Amino acid sequence: MKGRAVVRQYETGKRDFSRAKLCNARLEGAHLEGIDLSWALLRGADLSEANMAGANLRGSDMLGADLSDADLSGADLCGANLFKAEVTKAQIAQAESVKLAILPDGTKHE
């Protein structure tokens, strides 16, 4: 699935993209509040400046993804893989849950 297809479907009301394969997807600057990307493959995706407030990112694989300046406030990052992702500690701190997430430096959040 391509990033543009996700944005189009989101704009028509679809919110469930769980288990979607979005490796290297270009979603920069997208408005995706409350989207369900649980267990999705987002390796290398560009989510910079995306609004993902309240998103369900539980168990998603965001290895090497660009999350710079993305809004993750209230997001569920429980069990997500953020290894080598471009994301700050401040962004992660705004998330609702990061339990057992793999952080950008490879450590696991308790």
Task: Give residue-wise pLDDT tens across range 35-55.
Answer: 999 999 999 999 999 999 999
Which residues contact residue 5 at a Cβ distance below 8 angstroms, ignoring those fewer than 6 apart? none
C-alpha to C-alpha distance for 17 and 12, rounded to whole angstroms: 13
15 is written with which tokens? 């919110």
Q: Please check the confidence at residue 110 and state whether its pLDDT lies above 90.
A: no
Question: Is the pLDDT confidence value at 100 over 90?
Answer: yes
Domain that holds residue 44: 1-110
Confidence check: pLDDT of 1 > 90: no
Q: What is the CATH number of the domain that holds 31?
A: 2.160.20.80
Question: In this structure, what are the phi and psi dihedrals at residue 54, rounded to the nearest 5 degrees?
Answer: 70, 10
Structure pTM? Answer: 0.94
Total domain count, the chain: 1
